[in-house]
Structure 1
Amino acid sequence: MRRLAADLVSTGATRTDLTVEEIADIVWTMNSSEYYSMLVTSRGWTSDRFSNWLHDAWCRLLLDPTHAV
């Protein structure tokens, strides 16, 4: 996850108040099978809904909103 986080930081699009380690931690925890299981299996979300939610959450948590992507 640190390599992915470092690659993301290298784009210049991430929030400046987050370190590579913090970004890696966020991605690592939210990419766990438990998140998917809780929302899709237990709560009835579709896989597409989960995918869209995760994308939106990562964008909001990790990216600088003033940076055009």
Structure 2
Amino acid sequence: MTLASPERATTVEPVLYKVSDAERALRLSRTVIYGLIRTGRLRTVKEGRARRIPASAIHEYTALLEREAGESK
């Protein structure tokens, strides 16, 4: 068995997140994630029976939070 050299080890950003992965990425609970999906604040896609959250939707949601924080000042 050979180990991968450090220069070959790369981290690939996911394109689609499971809800559990989005929980970790956003540091939010499962209940909050599903609430955001239900209210349309966090966009999802379906692949077969699986619900996935595109990386772009996570970025859009964080941008929305930043805009809202700027408006409340």
TM-score under structure 1 length normalisation: 0.31
Which entry has the higher C-alpha Rg, 1 or 2? 2
Higher strand share: 2
Higher helix share: 1
Work out which structure has the larger RCO, using CA pairs closer than 8 Å and 6 or more positions apart in sequence: 1
TM-score under structure 2 length normalisation: 0.30
